[in-house]
Structure 1
Amino acid sequence: MDVNVPRRLRPGPLSHAAGYLSLHSIAAWFVFPQRFDRATAILAKERNGGAVSPGQAKSHFGHRLFVEIDPATLTHRLDEKHVDEDGHWHWIGDHFLDADDWSGRLSPLTRSPAHREIVEICRTRHGFREGRHYRAYVRSLEQRRPVRRNGKHLDSIEKIDAYFRYYVDLIENIERAGVVPRNRFQHSADTGRRHRGIRSLWHDLVERDIGIAIGADGRLVRHTSGKHRLAAAIGLGLKRIPVEIRLVHLNWLEQQMAVFELPPASALQKALEEHCFG
């Protein structure tokens, strides 16, 4: 199999069923395609903004939104927040379909401090104290400007060490077992239970699978959660990782509608089944 071709990844049945039942009734599932098609038609006229709840989309499309990809194909991330012409902030994580221009909101993963930090720890491992990021955190502490990470201030050497040990453990766990889906990740050794003093319980509870978006041209970009796990996968040179499709650009969807000669919801389902992206 070509390692660049995404492979479908089905989430655990218990996790999928729980999410489905908590979001929508069976009746809502059946009417979703009509609602999705209407939302697509409105976006096609306005050519801006977003529509469709990510929860509703996940409930309907289910396992088709979970795939495995080569992490090396993800080179950019989509900024989750942006400012409109009136100076108002918007977060695009609250919709599944988007029609805006992303060109000014895509940035290389290598520009992310968190990404660079994790890639460095992949190299230094338990010698993290020799790394550039560790030394920078110590300097910030000495200047009485401790950095804040994972909801905690690293205001002592012990906390800085614990922070780096957490990611050494995460990286070594991923090296042994790969990046596992969240329904299994919750029960694995890299959940942070041994590092509770340096990582809040909230961060574990809200953790999700690595999120991706399908751009206007079909290119995949990182979107929302999973920046540390993705960086670790890239730093370790992994060839396959599980990801979840959380956002779809209208232009790409319209291309699939033309190719398959189907209405929006059916075209998207067909495209996801045949992995017509990447």
Structure 2
Amino acid sequence: MVTSDTLFSSAPPVTSAVGDALKECAQGATGGLETLARLTVPHLTAIARHFLDAPRDVEDVIHDTLVLAWHNVWRFDPAAESPHAWLMQVFASRLASQRLALATPADATPWRLDVDRVVLPPPLTDAQRPTLDALMALYQQLPPASVDDALKARLCCAISLLDASRDMPLTPGGEPADPSLYDPSLGPRMSLSRLAQRAKGLINRSLTLPLEHLALRLWLSEAPGSRPLEARGLPRRGIESRYGEALDVSVDPRRLLKQIHYPRSFPDRRERHRISDRLLWDGDWDLSTTHALSSRRMHFIADIWAHRRDPSQSRSYHQLAERLARGKPVASHSDGMVLDRPERILAYLRRYLLYMEAMACFGFDNGLGKDRLGAAVDRHGELVKINKGLHRMAMAQVIGIPRVEVRVRGIHRQWWEQVSEGAKGDTAMQRVLAALPDCRPSAAD
């Protein structure tokens, strides 16, 4: 087991290299992260102190750089760049975020849910990062710095948690539970939910999706009896499986601010559940919308990002702590967590912040997350946000990611009929697919 006494107790062997350490990390060996820390942390500490005054800021930047490198090492391509350059780019992104946090005081004004709209912070841009050449020059010029005990302890804790995650039970989504948040009392419900998820997936793959593919082929070929399929809304999963990225539209996240209010748009709960099975949506669902900047998720994400230097000062921390004080801590078997201690609340908030730092560094990745970002096309041919990927969309909006891809999962029948111009089957589908790239976010009030 790695300890703060052993992590930096000796210099790394001469044959060690950052590239070898990253390769070990990519293989899932935490020994690679230990080696990476020994090789780079004294140098990164010296550079961080060149830009930051407070030891805690230096500690946060170094810790997060190493953890981000571990979780994203699969992105490193040794044929495209040197190991030092890749790691320094991660460091540069995290350093820029910390400096921007220092320059942007957090707003302590309480926000009223669904009323007050968050003022989005200045976006993180490449121009705010120190250049790679400048950082590499400092790496060569500055002597390695001594590593504070607090940073040693945090890095040792991070490595121990990574080791512990190997023995964690899987969440219903198939990811290992976070050992800093997991409680054994969640185990039985997690197992049952995972079993239910796997059974549902099996049914969808072996029965539901094949039937939808069959129905879609009948409709595309305008086979006899296929007209009722369009009247019922068309099989969305079959269409998404067949056309995939053709349903994606590139948008500026900060412009996609109108989102559906499901209880008002679909008052009938049964209809609310069924709507996800259909591509064509009828009715006035697009007239009942809310503003993304006043949503619960946006309040949460903007709040913790504004307080990322000290999440314990955020409104979200205090709200979760109040629930804990009332004896009703937040618990989720689907995420494998119980926030029954203050340190778990902080770990929970920091996990979200680490997601955001990764997004700021590497950009938005559609392959991550439970669901792709989703949108629907309203009667005017404009995009409205739906409840798929809401947290990640809020992150992209707060950070200032310039473009993301949203998957169209619903289309107002009026717009479909306008674009298809009376055509049916494959002709109608091709006309709609050709029109989707021109859809723009609906203007928020």
TM-score, normalising length: structure 1: 0.70
- 1:115 corresponds in structure 2 to 298
1:169, CA displacement in angstroms? Answer: 0.7
Report if the CA contact (8 A) 1:80-1:93 is conserved: no
Report if the CA contact (8 A) 2:218-2:226 is conserved: no
Q: Are 2:443 and 1:276 equivalent residues in the alignment?
A: no
Residue type of the alignment partner of 1:266: T
Report if the CA contact (8 A) 2:281-2:411 is conserved: yes
Partner deviation per Cα, 1:110-143 (whole Å, 9 max, x = no partner) = 2321221112223222422111111121122112
- 2:76 corresponds in structure 1 to none
1:172, CA displacement in angstroms? Answer: 0.4
Report if the CA contact (8 A) 1:141-1:156 is conserved: yes
Given candidates 427, 431, 434, the residue that maps to 1:266 is 427
- 1:243 corresponds in structure 2 to 406
What does 1:151-230 align with in structure 2 at a 5 Å threshold? 151=335, 152-182=337-367, 185=368, 207-230=370-393
Would you say how many aligned residue pairs link Structure 1 and Structure 2? 226
Distance 1:57 1:78 in 2: 22
For the aligned residues, what is the CA RMSD? 2.9
Local SS of the residue matching 2:328: coil
Partner deviation per Cα, 1:4-60 (whole Å, 9 max, x = no partner) = xxxxxxxxxxxxxxxxx8734986664342379724763xxxxxxx62222111123
Q: Are 2:235 and 1:57 equivalent residues in the alignment?
A: no
Distance 2:353 2:329 in 1: 21
Report if the CA contact (8 A) 1:175-1:236 is conserved: yes
**Structure 1 pair 88/111, CA: closer, same or farther in 2 (3 Å)?**
same
Q: Specify which structure has the higher proportion of strand.
A: 1
Distance 1:41 1:240 in 2: 33
Q: Specify which structure has the higher proportion of helix.
A: 2
Given candidates 325, 329, 347, the residue that maps to 1:142 is 325
Partner deviation per Cα, 1:183-204 (whole Å, 9 max, x = no partner) = xx2xxxxxxxxxxxxxxxxxx6
Long gaps (5+) in structure 2? 1-204, 441-445
Distance 1:167 1:95 in 2: 32
* Bigger Rg, which one: 2
Report if the CA contact (8 A) 1:114-1:227 is conserved: yes
**Structure 1 pair 172/112, CA: closer, same or farther in 2 (3 Å)?**
same
Distance 1:245 1:215 in 2: 11
Residue type of the alignment partner of 1:141: L
Report if the CA contact (8 A) 1:96-1:248 is conserved: yes
Given candidates 296, 304, 307, the residue that maps to 1:124 is 307
Report if the CA contact (8 A) 1:32-1:60 is conserved: no
**Structure 1 pair 231/39, CA: closer, same or farther in 2 (3 Å)?**
farther
Distance 1:93 1:125 in 2: 35
Report if the CA contact (8 A) 1:73-1:220 is conserved: no
Residue type of the alignment partner of 2:319: A
**Structure 1 pair 90/38, CA: closer, same or farther in 2 (3 Å)?**
same
**What is the percentage of aligned positions where both structures have the same residue?**
25
Local SS of the residue matching 1:136: helix
1:73, CA displacement in angstroms? Answer: 2.2
Report if the CA contact (8 A) 1:178-1:241 is conserved: no
1:225, CA displacement in angstroms? Answer: 1.6
Residue type of the alignment partner of 2:362: A
Local SS of the residue matching 2:285: coil
1:265, CA displacement in angstroms? Answer: 4.7
Distance 2:409 2:321 in 1: 37
Local SS of the residue matching 2:409: strand
Distance 2:391 2:323 in 1: 22
TM-score, normalising length: structure 2: 0.46
- 2:267 corresponds in structure 1 to 83
Distance 2:365 2:282 in 1: 31
Local SS of the residue matching 1:83: coil
Report if the CA contact (8 A) 1:96-1:247 is conserved: yes
1:89, CA displacement in angstroms? Answer: 6.2
What does 1:36-51 align with in structure 2 at a 5 Å threshold? 38-39=227-228, 42=231, 51=233
Partner deviation per Cα, 1:214-243 (whole Å, 9 max, x = no partner) = 111112111132011100110011110122
Long gaps (5+) in structure 1? 1-20, 43-49, 186-203
Report if the CA contact (8 A) 1:70-1:240 is conserved: yes
- 1:196 corresponds in structure 2 to none
Partner deviation per Cα, 1:63-118 (whole Å, 9 max, x = no partner) = 2112321112211222445323xx86632222211112114542221232122111
Local SS of the residue matching 1:51: coil
- 1:31 corresponds in structure 2 to 218
1:157, CA displacement in angstroms? Answer: 1.1
Distance 1:76 1:37 in 2: 34
1:244, CA displacement in angstroms? Answer: 0.9
Distance 1:214 1:83 in 2: 20
**Structure 1 pair 269/89, CA: closer, same or farther in 2 (3 Å)?**
closer
Question: Whose relative contact order is higher, 1 or 2, with alpha carbons under 8 Å and at least 6 apart?
Answer: 1
Distance 1:263 1:269 in 2: 10
